[in-house]
Structure 1
Amino acid sequence: MVPQPPYLGQRFDSFEDAKKFYQTYAKFHGFAVNTEYHRKIKKTNEYSRGEMRCYKARRNKKGKGDAPVVPERKRGIIVKTGCPVRCKLNVDGAQWVVTEYFDEHNHELIKKFDLVKFLTAHRGFTPLEKKFIKLLHDFNVGPSRMVQILSLIHSKKGSLSSMPYLPADVTNLKAKYRRESKLADIEATIAYFDEKAKEDQDFFYRIRLDDEDRVMYWVDGAARRAYKHFRDCISFDATYLNNMYKMPCAPFIGINNHNQSLQFRCGLVRNEDTDGYIWLFKTFLECMGGLAPMNIITYQDFSMRAGIEEVFPLAVHRHCRWHIIKKAEETLGPFFADRPDLHKAFELCVDHSLTVEEFERSWMVMIETYQVQDHETLASLWEKRMYWVPAYFMQCFFPFLQTTQRSEGFNAILKRYVSPGNSLLQFAKQYTALQQKILGSELQQEANTALKQPKLLTYIPMERQMSKIYTNTIFNK
């Protein structure tokens, strides 16, 4: 049936019904309509009048002469012709009635029906399609895949031309749902943290929201209490992408008296810059009663180092030796392969120097002996020596630790509990479950030390004395 135009005196139950009726007619005849005004009565705050006009009503803004002003040459515009076509409606009781209608265009109408749908007024999704796209979004289906699925729905052949919207419209709608789901996820996570705070008076969390929901931080009561005893050495890493928003997990990992890793706190950072790290470190100090870690080991990162120097100025900061050597081996490997004596001298210098003076003296001898003063990688390692060479940390407490292996080990375990598709709330709950498992393991070690006596191998008094001072794990190690 061919859609009919509105007529004077025609009544509608709502303005939206009238607009839908007129849009259907306009689409069939090759044009679109826009709502010009939709006024309200001040006293009742209810709509009283409305008008719909052709999409080419009014005229384009003009510059000098008659040339239309266009911000970008490459960007096209719809030329307005001041088309007089319009449909006015007024409220009459509970209905809307057409009071004026004019239907003579001053421009050519679009003759090809498949092109009319690309007019902005005709592009859009049905309520059912919106729900379907929301469902696809919840299952992490990407925009391109969404378009393919929707095209199959609109055409048995899967043609994009059959859809009344563009792929960009699908992308924009998915982005809208993503923003909405992110806000809902954050609100649900905050509610979860509030419940945890009611259960545990020492539970602490902070969230800083900006345009990118940049950082989030929380720590439970057990971790805060443990930190007071085991803040000697901290491993910090922020390399594991843990959730659907790609916010790296930044846990502070400590070591207890059973040589077990402890989760002191967890932070989620949107951008790994100095500002973000400073906020995390200051929040860490706030929740830990102002007690800074005494020694901290991280991977090599300028932003992280700048944040540590500002917030933890008295802490001894050490870089992960494994990462530094691995990067250096890209050039040193082939270089040392042709110079085995130099390689041996390098290892003796780094691994067996007991003092700073001994290391620096051995290094200079090595450089002079093998004439490698101009080697860039060796020069770079020398410049960073105070952050990774063991001799500089002989007087500092880094128990069995020269790398960020504690953090990396924690990340490996964390991957069993969470996946990149997890929301913030899912991650927080899984992190809590992992924390409970770690606390259970710690209780098991405490019981082992309290109930079992380690086997002594000698009759030396010092061995018997240490068996009563150390935990069983440390004594055996």
Structure 2
Amino acid sequence: MDDGTCGVQESSDMSISSDDDSIKERNENNVEVEHHHGEAQPHALLGEPELGMTFDNENDVREYYTKYAKAKGFGVMRRSSNTDANGQLKYLTLSCTRNGKTQSKSRNMLKPNPSAGLGCKAKINIARGPHGKLYLSTVILDHNHPLSPQKSQLFRCNKRLDFHVKRKLELNDRAGIRVNKNFNSFVVAADGHDNLTFGEKDSRNYLEKIRRLKLGSGDAEAVRDYFIKMQSDNRNFFSVMDVDDESRLRNVFWADARSRAVYDSFHDVITFDTTYLMNKYDMPFACFVGVNHHGQSVLLGCALLSNEDTATFVWLFQAWLTCMSNRPPKVVVTDQAKAIQNAVEIVFSDSRYRWCLWHIMKKIPEKLGGYEEYDHIKVDVGKEVYDSLTITEFEVAWLRMLEKYDIGDNEWLKGLYEHRHRWVPAFVKDAFWAGMSTTQRSESMNAFFDGYVNAKTTLKHFVSQYENALRDKVEKENIADFNSFNSTIPSITRFDIEKQFQAIYTNSKFKEFQEELTDIMYCERKLIQKEGAIETYCVPCIFHEEEFEIKCSCRHFEFRGILCRHVLCVLTQKKIKEVPPKYILERWKKNVKRKHNFIRCTYGGMDDSPVAKRFDSLCNSFYPTAEIGAMSDDSFNSLTEDLRTLQIKYTSNSSSEKNKDKAGTQEDQLQEDAPSNGAATSKSLLSPIAVRCAGRPPSLRKESKVDRLIRQAKEKKKKAELRE
């Protein structure tokens, strides 16, 4: 029976007697029988309560009256009770759930809440007799309202969550399945709501309770304890928590062991973004994202922040740098926020830094939309930014555009031109960025978490759901590794160069190479100048044959790490069969043994109780037997009979086993509640205060589907209230 209900737990030794010497009890097949002077007869239904009926304990009487009420069609509640100095029950009243007053507790008199009270007098009073037995001292059977046995399962006292139901709810919740879908799986399995002993609200309440039990009472303390446990599982798990003078959580950063190992292989390029609000404290989720050998986004650490000022970002970047063995990235991509820019210049002073091009270009309508020739201005800005191959070409075209439309006094354009080295492709494409010109990697990682968290997610629930989301990301990389190992993309040409990259690169990167290779048909192979060993082609490429040095003005290889169509055009023209190693990047190779592939992530950090582990083990052992038993009616009937025999065998010792398990569970809970590090948990840690984040307005922040639905529902409700 679920805690908090007025129902009664099953008891195998229940006995009910009355003054006429008839005793009702259960036989070995769990069928109720009534003994009359030694003669046992099957009893289909429980008899009505009678004065003087005796019971051994409170549990027996509550179980009896609840079953009686369910058969009649009304609910039962504990109305009053009294105990003596030793804690023994002296007096107890169980009544119909409709015994109260028909009075709403709502503060708004115009919107009263429904009330079940009808003043029903039906009840039983139980008192303790001189020999210690409980007996019925008062019995009132008449109700002042209709009864409905068909609706009995909806009364709170008849609702219960069996152990296997609780276990499945927990496992599905860990897998990120929403509560409504989690509950619907039970509805389908039971062939309808009527066959269930619980509702969706019961499932939701139980999961909320379990989340509190697993991670503690307070959000901040729960997150801290969770990090301590994760670090005990893997010493390479890294976490830092920033608190204020009142011991209130401000910022938190963490990275698992696998993320730290991934950085060893892919530390050249990272993006950083804070545009995703996802928990009830409105703390931005900030993530460091890199690119792996398949071109997939990989998480290199993440944080929850209480502010978006320079000091906060400096703290975060320093924590991340410490986590990554003080090895800064070669290049960093962020949005245009001034606070982030200041922090990058302080902490990552030796790194190449650029702004997200997408964030800049999307502001064009807002900043330039007021001009009459906006449509033409928008097109020309795009041409200057994307089509300029050299710095000189961009600067000439940009100044010409300002003069053409007389927009040289626009402050936004002035600021962009002043910092053009931070965002214009012609200024930054001489460095390797793994093809990233925007923080889209970070935002796609944010979107990846959409199915697991939303605006109501608490901190303690977030860390567990974070693991579920990241586990899926790791599995996608494992699948891509297997596909590159187990399959080969066929060549589409007869060039030896293609076979060279086919054998070395991962499938996804080889596809990119093939795309450039097929596009050489659009390039002219005309030699326009030759000075000694240096040849200049119109594509335009410069090729030094003796040193095998080739450069293209499009800088595709420098920017993406993949040879461009212009270079491949020249190499095929020269009948080159193999390119030197400097044009084959180690990070795109498929047969390289990388450290993070041998590290198991600390997923599933929340240990199960011993009871849950034994339950899972028994279920897994039974599945093969169940499959055999389901093959025919004979095997099904035989297995069912054997199971009934086993059930009777183990039920006979249920009382002692329950007491033993209860003691063990309490001991396990005490061990789980005990802090793993006394120094770390000696001081209470307070949850953060909900804050309003600086930087980009909330309306422009990335909004998940769940958040949007919640917002729309609130707006609809508010409009309806205004109409009323």
TM over 0.5: yes
Highest RCO, 1 vs 2 (Cα 8 Å, sep ≥ 6): 2
1:419 Cα deviation after fit: 1.7
1:251 Cα deviation after fit: 0.8
- Counterpart of 1:193? 227
Which of residues 127, 150, 153 in structure 1 aligns to 2:105? Answer: 153
1:439 Cα deviation after fit: 0.9
| Match runs of 1:252-263 below 5 Å | 252-263=288-299
- Counterpart of 2:353? 317
- Counterpart of 1:208? 242
1:324 Cα deviation after fit: 1.1
Q: Are residues 338 and 187 of structure 1, via their aligned partners in 2, closer, same or farther at CA, if it must alter by over 3 Å?
A: closer
- Counterpart of 2:491? 456
Unmatched 5+ residue regions in structure 2?
Answer: 1-102, 113-214, 513-724
- Counterpart of 2:458? 423
| Match runs of 1:289-328 below 5 Å | 289-328=325-364
Cα distance in 1, alignment partners of residues 317 and 338 from structure 2: 15
- Counterpart of 1:24? none
In the alignment, residue 381 of structure 2 is paired with which amino acid? Answer: F
SS of structure 2 residue aligned to 1:265: strand
In the alignment, residue 434 of structure 1 is paired with which amino acid? Answer: A
SS of structure 1 residue aligned to 2:303: strand
1:284 Cα deviation after fit: 0.4
Cα distance in 2, alignment partners of residues 388 and 334 from structure 1: 24
In the alignment, residue 192 of structure 1 is paired with which amino acid? Answer: Y
Kindly report the root-mean-square deviation, in angstroms, between the aligned alpha carbons of the 2 structures: 2.5
Alignment of 1:352 with 2:387, yes or no, is yes
Whether contact under 8 Å (2:364, 2:378) holds in the other structure is no
- Counterpart of 1:414? 449
SS of structure 1 residue aligned to 2:463: helix
Whether contact under 8 Å (1:354, 1:394) holds in the other structure is no
Alignment of 1:218 with 2:170, yes or no, is no
In the alignment, residue 223 of structure 1 is paired with which amino acid? Answer: S
Cα distance in 2, alignment partners of residues 155 and 275 from structure 1: 45
| Match runs of 1:59-70 below 5 Å | none
Whether contact under 8 Å (1:317, 1:387) holds in the other structure is yes
In the alignment, residue 240 of structure 1 is paired with which amino acid? Answer: Y
- Counterpart of 1:184? 218
SS of structure 2 residue aligned to 1:458: coil
Whether contact under 8 Å (2:452, 2:469) holds in the other structure is yes
Q: Are residues 369 and 327 of structure 1, via their aligned partners in 2, closer, same or farther at CA, if it must alter by over 3 Å?
A: closer
- For each residue in 1:328-351, what CA deviation from the matched residue of structure 2 results, as whole angstroms up to 9, or x when unmatched? 2224245374663x5554333211
Whether contact under 8 Å (2:501, 2:510) holds in the other structure is yes
Cα distance in 2, alignment partners of residues 253 and 191 from structure 1: 26
- For each residue in 1:112-132, what CA deviation from the matched residue of structure 2 results, as whole angstroms up to 9, or x when unmatched? xxxxxxxxxxxxxxxxxxxxx
Q: Are residues 259 and 158 of structure 1, via their aligned partners in 2, closer, same or farther at CA, if it must alter by over 3 Å?
A: same
Q: Are residues 188 and 468 of structure 1, via their aligned partners in 2, closer, same or farther at CA, if it must alter by over 3 Å?
A: same
Whether contact under 8 Å (2:368, 2:374) holds in the other structure is no
Q: Are residues 156 and 371 of structure 1, via their aligned partners in 2, closer, same or farther at CA, if it must alter by over 3 Å?
A: closer
Which of residues 264, 282, 304 in structure 1 aligns to 2:300? Answer: 264
The sequence identity of aligned pairs, in percent, is: 35
Whether contact under 8 Å (1:152, 1:159) holds in the other structure is no
1:365 Cα deviation after fit: 3.2
Cα distance in 1, alignment partners of residues 381 and 279 from structure 2: 42
| Match runs of 1:90-101 below 5 Å | none
Q: What's the TM-score once normalised by structure 2's chain length?
A: 0.40
SS of structure 1 residue aligned to 2:449: helix
1:306 Cα deviation after fit: 0.6
SS of structure 1 residue aligned to 2:450: helix
1:157 Cα deviation after fit: 3.6
Cα distance in 1, alignment partners of residues 106 and 381 from structure 2: 69
Q: What's the TM-score once normalised by structure 1's chain length?
A: 0.60
- Counterpart of 1:231? 267
| Match runs of 1:18-417 below 5 Å | 152-153=104-105, 157=109, 184-210=218-244, 211=246, 212-333=248-369, 335=371, 337=373, 340=376, 343-417=378-452
Q: Are residues 357 and 195 of structure 1, via their aligned partners in 2, closer, same or farther at CA, if it must alter by over 3 Å?
A: same
Whether contact under 8 Å (1:328, 1:377) holds in the other structure is no
1:291 Cα deviation after fit: 0.9
1:265 Cα deviation after fit: 0.4
1:321 Cα deviation after fit: 1.2
